[in-house]
Chains A and B, each alone.
Chain A
Amino acid sequence: MNTLARVGTSICTNPETRALHVTASCCKNRAARIRVGKGDRPLTYEQALHPHHIGHRKGWLSQHTSNLMGENGAADRTVEDVFVRRFIFGTFHNCLANEIVIKRRGNMLVVCALMLQRLPPQKFYFLIGYTETLLSHFYKCPVKMEVQTLGDKAVYKYL
C-alpha cells in the first residue's frame, strides 16, 4: 500500500514522467455508420454508404442556392430542413422507406418522400394535404410534397 502510494506520488511530482492512456476505440468515427453485424440486417443505399462518400458515391439530400458564393440565408435553410425532416418523420410514422429529399425552386419548397404502403391511400392523401397546408402557413411559402410508394424498402446490402 505504502509503496504504491510512494510510486503514485513520484509519478505526479516528477515532471519527467508522464502517464497517458489512449484507447483506440475513442478515435474511430461513429457518425451515420451502421456497423457490420450478423448479415441479416437489410440496409438501404443511404444507410450503407458512410458520410465520407457524400459527393463521391452519394448525392445531397437537400438542395438550395444558399451555399453558393455570395449568397445569404444558409443557416435559415438548414434549420428549416431539420424541422421539415422531423415533422414528416413524425407525421408519417413508420411509413418512410428512406430519407427525405428537400428541393427548393425559387421560394417553393418541394419535399420528395418515398413511402411504404402501410396506410390506406385515403389516409395518405389526408396526411399529405395536412403537411402541405401546415408547412405552407408556417414558412409562408408554397410547400409541395411529391410522394412515391413502394411495397417494401429497397435493400442495397445486408450487414
Chain B
Amino acid sequence: MAAHTLNIYMLSLGRMHCHIYGRNVHKALNRATYATALSTNNSSPNKGFPDRGSRGPIIRRPRREEGEPRKDRMPVDQDWTAVYPTAAPFRPGSVPLPVRMGFPVKRGVPPEKKGNLELIKIPNFLHLTPTAIKKHCEAMKLFCTEWPSALDTNVKCDEHFPIKIECKDYVSAGTSIRNPSARIVNLRVSICPNYDYAMYLLTVLYHESWKTEAWESEKTVADMEEYSWEDSPSQKNALSTLVRMQIAGEVEGDAVRDKLLGRPEVQEYRESVIRLMNEGESESSILQYREAVKKLLKL
C-alpha cells in the first residue's frame, strides 16, 4: 500500500517533469511503471553520471559531424579576395597550401599547419595579393584628381609653392585612435635671415588662415580680388547679343544660354575679358580681346 502510494507520487512527479523537459516523458513514465514491481529504487537510469537530483537524466544529443574544410572545396580559378578580404589570422582550413612551420623534432619534420600556433602568431599578407591591390586602386581612383601637368619638376613646385607643410600621420596600436605625436607639423621654407621670427610668423599665419571670420561671408562683388566672368555685366551683354543674333527659330530659355556658354568663341571671349580686367591693358591682351570679339560676332 505504501509502495503503491509512493509510486503514484512518483508518476505525478514524472508528469510534472514532462511539462518542463518535454523529452523526459518517456523515461519518467518508464521509471514509474517499472518501480511497481521492484523496490523503490530512486537512482537514475544513467549509471555513472552524477545524480542530477530532480532534473532528470542528461540527454546527450548526438554530436554533429564537422563539415569539410573550405580548402577541399576550392576551385582553381576562385576569387581569392573572397577568402581573405581583410587582414585576418592564418586559418589552416581556408589556405590550401601544405605549409609547415616550426623547429623540427630530432629526425623529424616541422609540425603541420593544423593547430600550429606559430603560423597564427606571424602577420600574413594573404589579403594583399596583386588582384586585391588592383581592386583597391580601382576603388580609390574615383576620389583622386590628376597631378597638375605644369608642375613636373621640383624647381617649378618650389617656385609656386615656396612654403611646404608636412603633416605626419601615425599608425600605432593602442586603445585610443589619437596619437599625440601627430600634432607636430613641419614647415619648410628656404633660407631667410631671421629664421626663428620667420617660423613664428608662418605658424601664426597658418593657423589664422584657417579661421573664417563671420564677416567673410558678407563678401560682395566689389570686394573680390580677382575678376570673375560668371554673373558679370560682360557675360550678360555678350549672351543677350548672341541670343538676339540667333533668335530665328530657336526657343528661349536656360538651355540656349548653357549651349551658348559652352561654345568655344564664348570661352575665348571670357578668357580675354578676364585677362584684360586682371592684368590691365597691354598690347597683347587688347589684341586677344579684339580677336575674340571678331570670332564671337563672326565679322
Contact = CB atoms under 8 A, between A and B. Distances in A.
Interface of A: 44-46, 49, 53, 57-61, 63-66, 70-73, 76-77, 80, 97-99, 101, 103-107, 110, 112, 114, 117, 120, 139-141, 146, 148, 150, 153-154, 156-157
A150 B174 contact: no
Contacts of A72: 180
A147 to B, nearest CB: 10
A99 B114 CA distance: 15
Interface residues of B, number: 30
Nearest to A100: B117
Contact of B117 (A71, A73, A76, A101): A101
Contact of A46 (B91, B117, B171): B117
Given A44-B117, A45-B102, A101-B117, 17 more contacts: A45-B111, A49-B103, A59-B121, A65-B173, A66-B172, A66-B173, A98-B117, A101-B89, A103-B89, A104-B174, A105-B87, A105-B173, A107-B175, A120-B61, A148-B115, A148-B120, A154-B114
B183 to A, nearest CB: 14
Contacts of A154: 111, 114-116
Contacts of A70: 181
A76 B174 contact: yes
A15 to B, nearest CB: 53
B89 A77 contact: no
A44 B117 CA distance: 9
Nearest to B89: A112
Interface of B: 61, 66, 87-89, 91-93, 102-103, 105, 111, 114-118, 120-123, 171-177, 180-181
A101 B121 contact: yes
A146 B87 CA distance: 12
A99 B115 CA distance: 11
Contact of A63 (B93, B102, B118, B123): B123
Contact of A64 (B89, B121, B174): B174
A70 to B, nearest CB: 8
Contacts of B118: 45, 58-59
5 contacts: A59-B121, A59-B122, A76-B174, A105-B87, A148-B92
Contacts of B92: 148
Nearest to B174: A73
Contacts of A117: 66
A73 B179 CA distance: 11
Most buried by A among B89, B118, B122, B174: B174
Contacts of B171: 65, 106
A9 B91 CA distance: 71
Contact of A57 (B88, B102, B115): B102
B60 to A, nearest CB: 10
A46 to B, nearest CB: 6
A76 B105 CA distance: 37
A100 to B, nearest CB: 9
B175 A141 contact: yes
A142 to B, nearest CB: 10
A119 to B, nearest CB: 11
Contacts of A64: 173-174
Given A66-B174, A71-B172, A61 B121 contact: yes
Contacts of A80: 175
A125 B255 CA distance: 62
Question: Residue among B88, B102, B123, B177 with the most chain A CB within 10 A?
Answer: B102
Given A45-B117, A146-B88, A57 B103 contact: yes
B174 A107 contact: yes
Contacts of B89: 101, 103, 110, 112, 146
B173 A153 contact: no
Contacts of B121: 59-61, 63, 101
Contact of B105 (A71, A73, A98, A156): A156
Nearest to B119: A59
Nearest to A60: B121
